[in-house]
Amino acid sequence: MKINFTKKQYETLFKMVQYGYWVASDTENNKEFGEMEQYINSYAKDFGIEGVQFVPEYELYDISRELEDQLHKVIDEYEEGVFQDKLAYHLARKEFIAESEEQEYNQEEAFKRLMELEEKYHIHIEEHGIRKLKVEE
């Protein structure tokens, strides 16, 4: 099978592979992701992508720091969003568990209350970031 890409399609695929490899490289079974990343990177020059070069001593295609920084802007934004979502979820869950010791909820009420609490923390994090959060011992 052969697939033809326009330059724009290849650029999109290239970015998708880089983002996917970034996530998959932290897993144990990332060999196939690394192989795919190298295969896609090997066509970068053919499609006019600057910042990808073959490094003979390592026998791999490497991305320049500038290109990596561009790609990581998207990754950083994503990670920040995930962090905020998880933080809001965990804070809401903690508060809900404490509330549940004093008040009983049916399944529908529990779900609604968790969503209210999570929204409260999302708003707080959006307005203040994490600077107003503290850990007490």
Average pLDDT over residues 68-75: 94
Residue 29 has what pLDDT? Answer: 67
Output phi, psi for 3, to 5 deg. -120, 130
Percent over 90 (pLDDT), the chain: 83
- State the DSSP H helix or E strand holding residue 52, giving kind and residue range, or none if neither: strand 52-55
Residue 87 has what pLDDT? Answer: 96
**What CA–CA distance (Å, rounded) separates 82 from 97?**
22
Treating both helix axes as pointing N-terminal to C-terminal, what angle do 31-41 and 7-24 enclose, rounded to 10 degrees?
150
* Predicted confidence (pLDDT) per residue in 2-44, tens digit: 999 999 999 999 999 999 998 887 776 678 889 999 999 999 9
**What CA–CA distance (Å, rounded) separates 18 from 34?**
10
**What CA–CA distance (Å, rounded) separates 36 from 122?**
37
Task: Compute CA 63 distance to the chain's CA centroid, rounded to the nearest angstrom.
Answer: 19
Residue 136 has what pLDDT? Answer: 85
Residue 12 has what pLDDT? Answer: 97
What residues does 124 pair with on adjacent strands?
none
Has residue 104 got a pLDDT over 80?
yes
| Global pTM value | 0.76
Residue 137 has what pLDDT? Answer: 85
Task: Residue 117: count other Cβ atoms within 10 Å of its Cβ.
Answer: 19
Residue 31 has what pLDDT? Answer: 84
Give the domain ranges of the chain: 7-63, 69-128
